[in-house]
Structure 1
Amino acid sequence: MAFFDLRGNPVGCGVAAARDAAESALWRLMSYYDSPLADLDAAIAADPGWAMPYLMKAGWLLAATDPGELGAVAQHLDAARERLGGAGVRERAHLEALQLVLEGRWHNACRRWDDLLLEYPRDALALQWSHQWDLHRGDAAGMRMRPARSLPDWDGDDPLYPFVLGLYAFGLEECNLYPQAEEAARQALQADRRVTWAVHAVAHVLEMQGRHDEGSAWLRLHQHDWAEGNEFASHLWWHKALFRVEAMDCAGVLRLIDGHLTAETLTTTTQRVDAAAMLWRLHLVGEDVSARALALVDAWADADDEPGYYAFNDLHRVTALIAAGQLPRAERWVARCAERALAIDDARRVNHTMAREVGLPLMRAFLAFARGDVDTAADILYPARMSARALGGSHAQRDLIDQTLLAAAVQGRRRNLGRALLNERLMAKPATALTRHWASRLGLPREARA
């Protein structure tokens, strides 16, 4: 007898209680409200022979890009593999894709999910997980096109439909389709105000269009939905701080960091990356954040001492070490990243190319900046920024590269480069206090700072 989930996808489980618990876990995975682990444990208890709850545990852990969790991931995948007797093609495909993620072969994993979605366009797990690894790989087109291929096959009344629409909204934003992104996100939130990807997508639109006052108001409007009990909260606090950085409200940024992004409150790598990114932006404009950065890197070292897993995270770790005044530690971290990137047995991993072609040049440029060799830093950063998408993350996150380039330009002899970069920014969105700060440091005439 065949069994199906609420979207008509085949599942290898005939126990209704287990399927219901897995459905609850799926909602938590897509909404980020609380951990899905309790629901998944309930699904396992109801049907110990079902592979899918173990796959969902593995995918949830992998999404954090935390190398300290890889051992647990492997155990969950082994447990799923032992239970494939009653599994169909769909669950086997998820196992194959997650195994590829574990091996660092993220491109291959997303292609496997693409194939799966052609057969099962309403597979929410495939949409959620492929979206996350598109973001980690900097594949903006994938984040836009994959939901676009699937959404017409969904029922608009499905409780997960708004969450898929939120994924689509963010993909549109990363492809610079800002009006369409904002419309899709607002549509998702009209259906369910708890779609944090939609809140997030609009925050990105407002950031990229220079609508920073609107951005602060937007996050404040939805704060009661995302600020408590949601794993997305730390990143949305980061966005609130980012709007204040543009206003050069450094005191306000520090209050947000101290309230929501302190070393002792952060439990995942992605949260530490957010904290490092914000501290670095303050460091670039002359704020002393060394004590906060030192607390962050010491806590980070206790949780994770594996360089070279993901270059995006490594770069942010280097910024935190530099801001903490720990240049020798930063140099050692980069050296260890380079050693791994040169290892033959690392060649199949996506990070192998990512680190060699983008991550390591950027980290070396940041080290040069820290040593005071700002012209060398600028000379590396200027061409490297054109390939920075391959580092992963969003446009807003990768802007720390341009901010560092501006800081290098104003401190050295590459001032024409700084002027050109500011021109580029001012053609894209209105001037802010931050852009006027850099224009003033470059000695540009007042009309250039409008």
Structure 2
Amino acid sequence: MDAPAPLRDCQAWKDAGLPLSTASNEACKLFDATLTQYVKWTNDKSLGGIEGCLSKLKTADPNFAMGHAISNGLVLIGTGSSVRLDRELDLAVKTMVDIAQAQPLTRREQLHVSAVETFAKGNFSRACELWEQILWDHPTDMLALKFSHDAYFYLGYQEQMRDSVARIYPFWTPSIPLSSYVKGIYSFGLMETNFYDKAEKLAKEALSINPTDAWSVHTIAHIHEMKAEIKDGLEFMQRSETHWKDCDMLACHNYWHWALYLIEKVLPSLKASGAMLDVVDSCSMLYRLQMEGVSVGERWQDILPVTQKHSRDHILLFNDAHFLMASLGARDPQTTQEILTTLQDASEAPGENCQHLLAREVGLPLCQALVEAESGNPDRVVELLLPIRYRVLQLGGSNAQRDVFNQLLIHAALECTSGVHKNVARSLLMERDALKPNSPLTQRLIRKAAAVHLLQIQGEEHRERGCWGPSPPATSIGCGDPGQAPASSCWSCPVIESGTRRPSDHRLGTSTTKPAAVFRRPC
């Protein structure tokens, strides 16, 4: 493992080509300490944590513009507060701008201040343009790199997230502090754009230098998830846990990738941190378990107090959807209505806020689909989600995080009663299987689809013969139910079989495995 680099003073920042407009060496070192902890996803107790460093930084030089930029930027990038509702944050951003205008700053510093101010207004894409302007001339400016990377993530701009790092990666030589972490940042963008082999290679290089690089661990966890390498993923997370579990700003999210096995580790971590990433992960995990037919008990009630205070934030539509999961799961109609009403209001007066502009066409239909799912209206869920499924990417988050919405659409399609939607589930599952073969989740959903189809056929035939009344509801056989029907080719899906399954053979029509027998249909 690399020894930690000494914190940089005024001269060191100048030597790096990144001069800071302050005469305080202490302020410069505290700026470096804050930046380092942000990149490493950890609050270093020996440094006093990020909040401790920022507090001492402002004391060391109250007029240090870049100190204000990193302080406000970190609050905003956390998406837990907005200048629209938080007066203290609004004042802090205005103070930052006033301080910047009252002194001669470098162009780089001016762009940093402008980018944070623009991000505060909700114009994330314009803020990214400003950070990119910095990186054109200063490719080793880690703050611009990290802020733009996170903002691209929120925007769902996967190619930009990858390419913004690709452009500057050659400039990061091993002698530059934090250079190994750039490998991990780059690897995540590569992974999100399906360059799995290159992403894994870079992430492993980063971990060979710093095994505690939680973001590189996170990339590899995603790769195993996207390639349905469940056993390898579990072994990797277990093997590496001691290295990343103390990275408090990302540990809960890494445990989320382990969530089905470690549910009891996630909720205590959420309550301890309250970080927005941990909040949405916990909501997503419970919602996925619920869709799988797992009873989550009173856990929605445990999460609701954390999400409830953000009901009016509307900083990210991705967050809003997860807050809604919590209020619906906890059966709190008042909070549910508050989220929907205030989001509707925000969409009607969006200004330059990119999320509010997107709310009408994507955010509100998605939220309404969650409500309809809770109300037992699967056909309406499909009507709302199907037209926007390719636009959900614009909400941000990773492919793995957004998959909860894909799963919602498939579950709803499986329960549809309308003839218009009878083949939607089949089509979605064939698509999913083609993109992610051998996924246990997809196989469970395929088995459920076959069982639902056979129950419907039984009901139709029995009614025709006058044997019994309506067919059992489609929900009577849950996903993964031990009593589920054997799969059958009568569902007209070439990937449905109960024996040995060879996805590529089935899709090519060259399978040598015989279809399983369908249910006997006694009258």
Instruction: Normalising by structure 1, report the TM-score.
Output: 0.91
> Which residue number in structure 2 is paired with residue 103 of structure 1?
121
Deviations 1:240-294 (A, max 9, x none): 11xx3xxxxxxx3533444534xx3341232211111111001112223252112
Are positions 1:80 and 2:86 aligned together? no
Deviations 1:377-428 (A, max 9, x none): 1122222111111011110011011110121122223342112222122212
Following the alignment from structure 1 to structure 2, what is the Cα–Cα distance between the partners of residues 415 and 234?
Answer: 39
Judge conservation of contact 1:289–1:324 (CA < 8 Å) in 2.
no
Judge conservation of contact 1:57–1:73 (CA < 8 Å) in 2.
no
Q: Which runs of 5+ in 2 are unaligned?
A: 1-9, 44-48, 451-486, 490-494, 502-523
Following the alignment from structure 1 to structure 2, what is the Cα–Cα distance between the partners of residues 42 and 258?
Answer: 32
> Which residue number in structure 1 is paired with residue 280 of structure 2?
273
When residues 59 and 112 of structure 1 are mapped into structure 2, their CA distance, relative to the original with a 3 A threshold, is same
DSSP 3-state at the match of 1:386:
coil
Judge conservation of contact 2:327–2:335 (CA < 8 Å) in 1.
yes
Give the 5 Å matches for 1:23-422: 23-34=32-43, 35-67=49-81, 70-84=86-100, 85-241=103-259, 244=260, 252-261=261-270, 264-289=271-296, 291-301=298-308, 303-327=309-333, 329-343=335-349, 346-413=350-417, 414-422=421-429
When residues 415 and 162 of structure 1 are mapped into structure 2, their CA distance, relative to the original with a 3 A threshold, is farther
Following the alignment from structure 1 to structure 2, what is the Cα–Cα distance between the partners of residues 4 and 86?
Answer: 20
Question: In the TM superposition, what is the alpha-carbon distance from 1:220 to its structure 2 partner?
Answer: 1.7
Following the alignment from structure 2 to structure 1, what is the Cα–Cα distance between the partners of residues 269 and 52?
Answer: 25
> Which residue number in structure 2 is paired with residue 249 of structure 1?
none
Which residue identity lines up with residue 76 of structure 1 in the other structure? Answer: A
Structure with the greater alpha carbon radius of gyration:
2
DSSP 3-state at the match of 1:30:
helix
Judge conservation of contact 1:194–1:225 (CA < 8 Å) in 2.
yes
Question: In the TM superposition, what is the alpha-carbon distance from 1:44 to its structure 2 partner?
Answer: 3.1
For the aligned residue pairs, the C-alpha RMSD in angstroms reads: 2.1
State the number of aligned residues. 435
> Which residue number in structure 1 is paired with residue 441 of structure 2?
434
Deviations 1:114-165 (A, max 9, x none): 1111111111000000011101110101110011111112222223111122
DSSP 3-state at the match of 1:10:
coil
Which residue identity lines up with residue 21 of structure 2 in the other structure? Answer: G
Higher relative contact order (CA 8 A, sep 6+): 1
Following the alignment from structure 1 to structure 2, what is the Cα–Cα distance between the partners of residues 350 and 140?
Answer: 17
Which residue identity lines up with residue 139 of structure 1 in the other structure? Answer: Y
When residues 225 and 72 of structure 1 are mapped into structure 2, their CA distance, relative to the original with a 3 A threshold, is farther
Q: Out of 161-170 and 326-335, give the one that drifted further.
A: 326-335
Q: Which runs of 5+ in 1 are unaligned?
A: 245-251
> Which residue number in structure 1 is paired with residue 488 of structure 2?
445
Deviations 1:88-111 (A, max 9, x none): 211111110000011111111000
When residues 227 and 72 of structure 1 are mapped into structure 2, their CA distance, relative to the original with a 3 A threshold, is farther
Comparing both structures, which one devotes a greater share of its residues to helix?
Answer: 1
Deviations 1:144-191 (A, max 9, x none): 001111111222222311112211111111111111111111111122
Judge conservation of contact 2:76–2:82 (CA < 8 Å) in 1.
no
Judge conservation of contact 1:374–1:411 (CA < 8 Å) in 2.
yes
Which residue identity lines up with residue 255 of structure 1 in the other structure? Answer: E
